[in-house]
Amino acid sequence: MKSHYRVVVIGGGVVGASVLYHLAKFGWTDVALIERSVLTAGSSWHAAGGIHALNADPNIAALQAYTIDLLSEIEKESGQNIGLHMTGGLTMAGTPDRWEWLQSAYRTFQSIGIEDCRLVTVEEACALNPIMSGEGLLGGMWADREGYIDTTGTVHAYAGAAKKRGATVIEHNRVLELHQTLEGWELITEKGTISCEHVVNAAGLWAKQVGRMAGIELPVSPLNHHYLVSDSIPKLEEIDFEVPMTVDLEGFTYLRQDQKGVLLGIYEVDHQHWMMDGAPWEYGFELQQEDPDRIEKELIMGFERYPVLQEVGVKTWVNGAFTFSPDGNPLVGPVPGKRNYWSACAVMAGFLQGGGVGKSLAEWMIHGEPEADVYGMDVARYGIWAENKQYIKETTGQFYSRRFVMTYPNEQLPAGRPLRMNGIYSDLDARGAVWGQSWDLEVPLYFAEPGFRETPSLKRSNAHDIVGAECRAVREGVGLLDITAFSRFEVTGENAETWLDMLMASKLPAPGRVKLAPMLGEDGRMKGDLTIFNWGDGRWWITGSYYLRAWHMRWFNDHMADGVTVRDLGEEMAGMSLSGPKSREVLRAALTDGDADALKFMGCTQMDVGLVRCHVGRLSVAGELGFELHCRTGDLKALRDTLLKAGADHGMIEYGFNALLSLRLEKSFGIWSAEFTQGYTPGMTGMDRWIDWDKQFVGKVAAQKERDGNGPAKRLVTLEVDAADADASGFEPVWQGARKVGFVTSGGYGHTLGKSLAMALVDPDCAEEGAELAVHVVGVERAAKVIAPSPYDPEGKAMRG
């Protein structure tokens, strides 16, 4: 053991070993892994070891596919047998909705390039898995690249391949303390003190304690998970192939062969947390006592699905803990506020996702950005509010219990809610607000009559007409929207303008003006679709997506310069927006100081609205004449009351974000996480029209290379879809005949146009107006055509009115 390494990885499970391997593979060989006991002594040794490329998040599915492809490579490189059994896999549906979802998911996988899967009938599935009963099933999906591995062998393969590339593995050496230094980190271990530039928390069941050593409270918790291994099954002795990995979604079980028996795993509804503050340090190869009574319902369904289990005994019970995050996805990346402290935690499907996690984190550390868009597992998707123990308990438990429960796109889950409620929450609730959640904040989706309940659905729900009425009211009159769920950052200091000019790819606005601003990474891909306000007094605002607050602040801090201060105003400021042709009349009636008529499109100033001093911008995401009014959080109720009074004579209604999403589609306005992500470039998304090519900015070299080369691989277009009772939502494949030419980024119904609309990234030769295409919507192919952008008010006269 040396006294200094470039990187120290804490934790000798599959994730830590994968991080070590990828760091060494990408050229950083002065790296070490420290394990308190021996490799696999945590969750890795007792994991079921199943692998499959399919995941509801397409970006994570791509990383899982990478992991599967990597397994044979590390086996060969290390010389360590990993016991890879590529049996293929089945995912079975037992309800009409689930079967529709599975057909839709099949098309999603086609969109992201997973071609080795297909839909199968129940009869085909039973032939592929002859010990499965088809009773109650409606269909399934087969995937070629599914199977299982030897978990211990796989961890040693990652570690062995890393050591061959120059990395170091240190076992039997617990980390006792962590201290941040000017150069990086100091680790106090049982065998001495080590200094390093970077430290990685891949501690699994001990991630909570290793986080606390650095003053970090990670939103993770272990939960117990059961599986059993059966005695030998006579029918398996008779067939000359292994039965495939099989998931019975309605039965809450997964199954794979184990020698001549089977392993049956259960995600029970009655979940059980274990050691929420982290496992005992001496824990390692122990298990919890099995509890068949707690999982009785799921066991019965499993034994009915696989009747052969009723004829043999149970050879082994495993009840061991895995670490989960609130949404079940990993917590990966640089921890905000802790320079060079990296998280690689809560990878509950470590053998399935560990390769992709290790690759992405190593790229991030070495190159500054991962190749893939990994926001879905970025540690910065949570804020300080997620440190609350009750929040962690509720949300991790909800995820575990719903692991195989179908979640609908329009379904709002209750765990950890309501959390943050702004000053008008009670008033909007009394008005009939139906609530969604953005980061920690409750946001109004739409307003309904007392007693209304939205039906979860893959298709248009019973809230469809309610949202439509809100859309028409905004287009025809005026609507009031709570926009507290916009992020707001204040930038000040003597070098504020220079810093912003470097960070943003667009020109900066003049005093009293507003501009849309793409922000890029060094690789030329998007880092934000932001709005810049120049208040003219040395203060600038950056506004964007509320749920990206920690993510964007980390980016700002990573690029900070002397003479610049950036402050997150998320806890201090709130706001309301007025949109619609009568919005100026309402604002005029509400003003006590200011001139609504003098504020021109994309202008900003301060005005008094009733008793409230507001920062006012003349813009609207709805594509109408509109105003954003920002105020102190404590003034929000007074602002709303004043605007309601002023709007009473103009038929003003309050509306929610579901209507706003429909209105913005009619204007072809993209949004982050759909049209704009860190996986796309400004050339692909059309954001290059805002770039000022005459100045220097972060990402210019890469963006210019795309512009001056062959151009973007895809182009963003607007589609009119010949839909019936459902609309595209995202990642559905787009076809030109039998050729797959792109995928949907987002979609919905344009209520004021009476059309089903979608935005999509397609091959450039299919991007011309009038191109005849097709889109799968909830698994059904529907005709579509490329239409001109901004099908509503294409010249923008309403916004400028």
Q: What does the buried/exposed string (b/e) look like for 294-312 if buried means 16 or more CB atoms within 10 Å of the residue's CB? A: bbeebbebbbebbebbeeb
For every residue of 139-180, DSSP letters joined together read: EEEEESSEEE--HHHHHHHHHHHHHHTT-EEE-S--EEEEEE
Coil, strand or helix: which one is 217?
Answer: coil
Which two three-digit tokens encode residue 653? 């209604």
Whole-model pTM?
A: 0.96
Q: Which of 751, 742, 755 is CA-nearest to residue 715?
A: 742
Measured between alpha carbons, how far is 204 from 219 in angstroms, rounded to an integer? Answer: 12
Distance (Å, rounded) from C-alpha 9 to C-alpha 294? 37
User: 692, 707 in Cβ contact below 8 A?
Assistant: no
Is the CB of residue 158 less than 8 Å from the CB of residue 40?
no
What is the DSSP code (8-state) at residue 725? Answer: S
Beta-strand pair 479-482/653-654: parallel
Instruction: Phi first, then psi: give them for residue 751, nearest 5 degrees.
Output: -65, -35
Q: Characterize 396-419 residue by residue with b for buried, 16 or more Cβ atoms within 10 angstroms of its Cβ, and e for exposed.
A: bbbbbbbbbebeeebeeeebbbee
Beta bridge partners of 198: 7
749: CB partners within 8 A, 6+ apart: 460, 464, 468, 662, 723, 727, 755, 756, 757
Triad 369, 370, 372: Cα angle to 5° = 135
pLDDT at 264: 98
Q: Which amino acid is at 138?
A: L
The pLDDT of residue 352:
93
Which residues of the chain have a pLDDT value below 50? none
pLDDT of res. 290: 96
Tell me the Ramachandran region of residue 711: left when phi exceeds 0, alpha when psi lies from -120 to 50, beta otherwise: left
- Residue 135 is predicted with a pLDDT of 98
pLDDT at residue 114, as a whole number: 85
As a whole number of Å, the CA-based R_g of the chain is 27
Q: Which of 242, 261, 253, 259 is nearest to 311 (CA)?
A: 261
Strands (E), 190-244: 192-201, 221-230
Compute the distance between CA of residue 98 and CA of residue 250 in angstroms, rounded to an integer.
Answer: 9
Q: What are phi and psi of 116, to 5 degrees?
A: -95, 45
In order of their start, the domains of the chain are: 4-324 (3.30.9.10), 572-651 (3.30.1360.120)
